[in-house]
Amino acid sequence: MAGVFWYDGTWTTEEPKIVGPMDHAFWLGSVIFDGGRAIKGWAPDLDRHCARAVASAKAMLMKPTKTAAEIEALCREGIRRMGPEAELYIRPMFFIRKGLGAARPDPDSTDFILSVYDNPMPNWAGFSAVMAPFRRPTPEMAPTDAKAACLYPNGARASAFAAAQGADNAVMCDAMGHVAEFASANLWFAKDGRVVTPAANFTFLNGITRQRIITLFKDAGVTVEERTVKPAELEAADEIFSTGNYAKVQPCTRYNGRDMQIGRFATQAREMYWRWMEAAPKVV
The ranges assigned to domains in the chain are: 3-118, 127-278
> What are the CA-CA distances from residue 176 to residues 71, 100, 145, 193, 267 (Å)?
37, 35, 18, 27, 31
Rounded distance between C-alpha atoms, residue 258 and residue 279, angstroms: 37
Residue 67 burial (CB count, 10 A): 12
Rounded distance between C-alpha atoms, residue 150 and residue 236, angstroms: 33
What pLDDT is stored for residue 264 in this prediction?
A: 98
Q: Is the dihedral of CA 170, 172, 135, 154 positive or negative?
A: positive
What pLDDT is stored for residue 221 in this prediction?
A: 98
**3-118 shares its CATH topology with 127-278:** no
Tell which CATH classification among 3.20.10.10, 3.30.360.10, 3.40.1350.10, 1.10.274.100 matches the domain 127-278: 3.20.10.10
Give mean pLDDT, residues 179-184.
Answer: 98
pLDDT range class, residue 190, cuts 50, 70, 90: very high
Give mean pLDDT, residues 6-16.
Answer: 98
pLDDT range class, residue 101, cuts 50, 70, 90: confident
What pLDDT is stored for residue 19 in this prediction?
A: 95
Rounded distance between C-alpha atoms, residue 210 and residue 159, angstroms: 20
Q: Is the dihedral of CA 114, 206, 272, 264 positive or negative?
A: positive
pLDDT at residue 49 above 80? Answer: yes
45, 208 Cβ separation under 8 angstroms: yes
pLDDT at residue 241 above 90? Answer: yes
Instruction: State the number of CA atoms in the 13 A half-sphere of 261 facing the CB.
Output: 4
Output the pTM of the full model.
Answer: 0.96
Rounded distance between C-alpha atoms, residue 208 and residue 36, angstroms: 10
What pLDDT is stored for residue 1 in this prediction?
A: 75
Helix and strand numbers (H, E) in the chain are 7, 15
What pLDDT is stored for residue 179 in this prediction?
A: 99
What is 3-118's CATH number?
3.30.470.10
Give mean pLDDT, residues 256-279.
Answer: 98
pLDDT at residue 25 above 80? Answer: yes
Give mean pLDDT, residues 32-44.
Answer: 98
Mean pLDDT, the chain, integer: 98
Helix (H) or strand (E) holding 192: none
Give mean pLDDT, residues 191-209.
Answer: 98
What pLDDT is stored for residue 102 in this prediction?
A: 76
pLDDT at residue 253 above 80? Answer: yes
